[in-house]
């Protein structure tokens, strides 16, 4: 009886204390703790640009397993593949090898590139992201602190940390038509250091695309990737290895009827970063890429619009890239200064071509990029921040391809209080025309693409909802491929985001995007609309995620819908089973690939295809 009264008194006391001292509900406290301690909150840099954030929770609920799954939902620049089946969001369906070098990819703050070939997005645009904790997209000329080469958009992937993801995790995924993927991760914290490793393999068997022959176009690939790091308080070493063997869609076939179209990639990335003290940080990166190309057709092949008078073409090339950077940060009064020097050397170290086509000029095989930047963030008070940035890049190439001197300027202002924020930037950016593309096109002395832009962002948030509007106008002094000074390409785009927390376990995400372009890619006017609506719920041991992505443009005013649904059953803390349906309506956005009859040189009807296949995937995840 005594013990009963004792327990009862303790219960009463406990209830009293809880009510008196801590009036907030534990659910609310947990929600607040969750939001404020999300890993992404530690890496977001409001001054990097206009941010689109994918938190760990959002990635998990989306059941996004590749960067492609994420890029399909981003505004402005969304997932595309070019005629070589390479992730190339800015691709317009032409035969240009690669046009998305203005988008740069970073892992844990370190850029990954394909060296001589350009942006890391080429190979990393659809990588397995099982090693990733959260992803930040910064739009519209991000701050110069992170970029060695100028960028229009930067994608930051941040890896999982052993303090939150220690131990092992195994994931087995099986899709219909033989699509399958496996991933294994292991992370540990030791006394003085921690490490994490992820190994994954993807056998992507994708829908074939009818080209009117018995051999439809294929874009299947097999990819094995290894990601790992070891770190202590002030040093980190990353190692990434990707081996990708891919069917290369239309490749160099004029009429998109190749008899053989394959490209293999073997890519190594290593970087070492050290922070000497609160002021100085150094970073060294080495990257190596081997590419093996095999194309065959019954008619002459085409390369970037130029007939190469061959019906088969094989090429093996290797290139490496070394990047070194040193940055200094200091705060004097209300000013926070960041200065840095960066140098990157890209070298084509080996190329073995069966019969090299003549391009009419001496190709370059070495490119050296030297950069210096200065940035001042003036914190007027707790709510107002002004920023000024300037960056100079000198690009030096051998061969007949010219050098470039590029200047970037950006001024910005940020206001924020607990609920409202406003952000604006004015910038002038210069981008080098893609040297590989211009060499293939045999274009001489292309002036850098220069843009003048102005952006504004206004946002409001409270405990239940957040809303944000971004407005962006930009004028190109010369276009991506159009160097005619009489043509003035202009852009206007706007993004509206609305997030609403229905309950602690139910969230709604809405995103609307509209863009208006004039004089782009020889089109007088282009309008582009897209939308994204997602609803996520948790009920007992089940997570649900339903989303629809909508696209429409003024070329054909056709509406495309990509409907996806995921249900995850968390059997216990260590085991979960997920079922995901992608592109369930089979009405996802399609891309056009242009083609030409190689005999008569007359245009053929373009091939329409979607990068998103209708697919069901079953995945089992086990943590041990």
User: CA-CA distance, 531 to 551, in Å (whole number)?
Assistant: 7
17 interacts with another protein by CB under 8 A: yes
554 interacts with another protein by CB under 8 A: no
Q: From the CB of 105, what's the least distance to another protein, in Å?
A: 15
365 interacts with another protein by CB under 8 A: no
When binding is defined by CB under 8 A, the residue of 2, 214, 233, 556 that contacts another protein is: 233
8 versus 350: smaller Cβ distance to another protein: 8
Q: Could you say which residues in the range 401-420 bind another protein, by CB under 8 A?
A: 414, 416-417
Do 178 and 144 contact (CB within 8 A), yes or no?
no
Q: Which of 401, 404, 405 is nearest to 436 (CA)?
A: 401
Q: Could you say which residues in the range 252-291 bind another protein, by CB under 8 A?
A: 273, 275, 278, 281
SS (H, E, C) 58-71: HHHHHCCCEHHHHH
When binding is defined by CB under 8 A, the residue of 123, 127, 181, 236 that contacts another protein is: 236
30 interacts with another protein by CB under 8 A: yes
386 versus 498: smaller Cβ distance to another protein: 386
182 interacts with another protein by CB under 8 A: no
Q: Which of 462, 460, 493 is nearest to 475 (CA)?
A: 493
Contacts of 558 (CB under 8 A, 6+ apart): 552
Q: Where are the alpha helices (DSSP H) in 408-506?
A: 435-441
Distances (CA, A) of 91 to 53, 98, 289, 412, 477: 24, 7, 22, 30, 21
Contacts of 576 (CB under 8 A, 6+ apart): 568, 569, 570, 620, 621
Q: From the CB of 273, what's the least distance to another protein, in Å?
A: 6
Q: From the CB of 85, what's the least distance to another protein, in Å?
A: 31
When binding is defined by CB under 8 A, the residue of 88, 111, 126, 133 that contacts another protein is: 133
Residue span binding another protein (CB under 8 A) among the ranges 185-193, 216-224, 431-439, 557-565: 185-193
Q: From the CB of 63, what's the least distance to another protein, in Å?
A: 11
Site string for another protein, 573-602 (x = CB under 8 A): x-----------------------------
User: CA-CA distance, 567 to 565, in Å (whole number)?
Assistant: 7
379 interacts with another protein by CB under 8 A: yes
When binding is defined by CB under 8 A, the residue of 13, 523, 555, 618 that contacts another protein is: 13
SS (H, E, C) 26-85: HHHHHHHHHHHCCCHHHHCCHHHCEEEEECHHHHHHHCCCEHHHHHCCCCCCCCCECCCC
350 versus 380: smaller Cβ distance to another protein: 380
User: CA-CA distance, 273 to 323, in Å (whole number)?
Assistant: 12
128 interacts with another protein by CB under 8 A: no
571 interacts with another protein by CB under 8 A: no
Residue span binding another protein (CB under 8 A) among the ranges 29-37, 297-305, 440-448, 604-612: 29-37
14 interacts with another protein by CB under 8 A: yes
Q: Could you say which residues in the range 311-340 bind another protein, by CB under 8 A?
A: 329, 331, 336
Q: Which of 498, 474, 501 is nearest to 488 (CA)?
A: 474
């Amino acid at each position: 009886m005594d013990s009963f009264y004792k327990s009862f008194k303790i219960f009463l006391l406990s209830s009293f204390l809880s009510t008196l001292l801590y009036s907030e509900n534990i659910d609310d406290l947990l929600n607040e703790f969750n939001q404020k301690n999300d890993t992404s909150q530690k890496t977001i840099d409001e001054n990097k640009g206009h941010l689109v954030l994918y938190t760990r929770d959002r990635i998990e609920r989306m059941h996004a397993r590749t960067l492609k799954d994420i890029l399909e939902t981003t505004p402005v620049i969304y997932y595309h593949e070019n005629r070589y089946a390479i992730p190339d969001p800015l691709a317009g369906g032409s035969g240009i090898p690669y046009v998305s070098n203005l988008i740069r990819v970073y892992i844990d703050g370190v850029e990954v590139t394909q060296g001589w070939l350009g942006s890391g997005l080429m190979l990393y645009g659809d990588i397995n992201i099982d090693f990733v904790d959260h992803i930040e997209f910064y739009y519209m000329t991000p701050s110069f602190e992170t970029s060695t080469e100028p960028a229009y958009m930067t994608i930051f992937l941040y890896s999982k940390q052993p303090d939150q993801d220690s131990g092992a995790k195994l994931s087995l995924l099986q899709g219909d038509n033989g699509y399958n993927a496996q991933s294994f991760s292991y992370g540990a914290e030791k006394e003085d250091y921690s490490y994490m490793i992820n190994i994954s393999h993807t056998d992507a068997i994708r829908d074939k695309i009818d080209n009117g022959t018995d051999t439809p176009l294929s874009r299947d690939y097999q990819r094995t990737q290894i990601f790992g790091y070891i770190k202590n308080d002030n040093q980190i070493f990353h190692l990434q290895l990707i081996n990708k063997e891919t069917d290369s869609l239309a490749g160099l076939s004029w009429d998109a009827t190749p008899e053989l179209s394959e490209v293999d990639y073997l890519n190594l990335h290593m970087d070492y970063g050290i922070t000497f003290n609160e002021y100085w940080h150094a970073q060294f990166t080495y990257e190596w890429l081997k590419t093996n190309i095999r194309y065959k057709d019954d008619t002459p092949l085409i390369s970037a619009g130029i007939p190469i008078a061959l019906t088969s073409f094989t090429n093996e090339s290797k290139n490496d890239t070394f990047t070194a950077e040193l940055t200094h940060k200091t705060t004097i009064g209300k000013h926070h200064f960041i200065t840095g020097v960066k140098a990157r050397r890209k070298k084509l170290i080996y190329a073995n071509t069966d019969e090299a086509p003549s391009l009419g000029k001496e190709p370059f095989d070495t490119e050296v990029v030297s950069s210096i930047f200065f940035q001042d963030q003036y914190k007027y008070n707790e709510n107002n921040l002004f920023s000024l940035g300037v960056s100079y890049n000198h690009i030096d190439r051998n061969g007949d391809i010219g050098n470039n001197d590029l200047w970037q300027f950006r001024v910005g202002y940020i206001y924020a209080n607990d609920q409202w924020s406003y952000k604006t930037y004015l910038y002038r950016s210069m981008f080098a025309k893609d040297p590989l593309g211009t060499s293939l096109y045999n274009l001489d002395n292309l002036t850098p693409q220069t843009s003048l832009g102005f952006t504004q962002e206004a946002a409001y948030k409270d405990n239940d909802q957040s809303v944000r509007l971004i407005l962006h106008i930009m004028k190109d002094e010369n276009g991506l491929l159009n160097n005619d000074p009489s043509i003035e390409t202009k852009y206007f785009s706007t993004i509206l985001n609305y997030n609403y927390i229905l309950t602690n376990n139910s969230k709604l995400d809405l995103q609307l995007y509209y863009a208006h372009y004039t004089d782009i890619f020889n089109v007088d006017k282009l309008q582009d609309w897209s939308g994204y609506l997602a609803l996520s719920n948790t009920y007992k041991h089940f997570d649900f995620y339903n989303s629809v992505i909508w696209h429409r443009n003024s070329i054909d005013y056709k509406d495309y819908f990509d409907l996806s649904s995921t249900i995850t059953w968390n059997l216990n803390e260590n085991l979960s089973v997920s079922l995901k349906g992608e592109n369930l309506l089979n009405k996802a956005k399609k891309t056009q690939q242009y083609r030409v009859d190689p005999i008569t040189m007359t245009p053929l009807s373009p091939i329409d295809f979607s990068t998103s296949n209708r697919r069901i995937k079953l995945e089992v995840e086990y943590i041990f």
